[in-house]
Amino acid sequence: MYRIYTTEGIVLKGFATGEASKILVVFTRDLGLLYARAQSVREERSKLRYCLQDFSLGSFDLVRGKSGWRVTSAAGIRTLADFRGERRREAQGILVRVSALLVRLLRGEEKDPALFEEVVGAFARLGEREAPHGSPKDFEALLVMRILSRLGYWGDDPVLSPFIHSFQIGDKETFAAFAPVRGMAIRRINASLRETQL
């Protein structure tokens, strides 16, 4: 008898396998990043079909077998890619790039509930009717800085550290203060990503 693990998670990516199945890359609150098979999920009659699409936030029941993780059931909470308004394309680009970064940087099944909450909160903010204050580039840079810091790829910096530890990411004052140092932040982000060698 396999133990069932129930956790909230985001489907960062999914790809087809076999006749109607999918392999999902899921960032979970309680198990970290994992790869899970969803059997027959691409069939028309599958009840799981809609809550296992890319960028779906949901509650997942998972079992770990000899060949890895398998999704046994799921309940969708919301899709994080339901963007409207003039910034729809920019928001979608941020979602795709940040998801790819998480897949690249997260190693093993180490839970990090604080990072999970940060990512879910930021993705949800992107989908709000009123776009976040400031430019999409600022929003993305702030989120990536926080992810890098949380994962240990960011050292101390007297100018940039306050944006990681004290400011709210969707806040008007944060964007106003960040705009003049965005170039410095992007250079530091690129250097940190090179140093990861991933």
CB contact at 8 A, 34 and 109 = yes
Instruction: Return the pLDDT at 133.
Output: 58
Instruction: Return the pLDDT at 198.
Output: 66
The CATH number given to 4-79 is 2.40.50.140
Q: Is 156 exposed, middle or buried (CB count within 10 Å of its CB: 0-12, 13-18, 19+)?
A: exposed
Domain boundaries, the chain: 4-79, 88-196
Q: What does pTM read for this prediction?
A: 0.88
Instruction: Return the pLDDT at 141.
Output: 93
Point out the residues of the chain with pLDDT beneath 50.
none
Instruction: Return the pLDDT at 132.
Output: 54
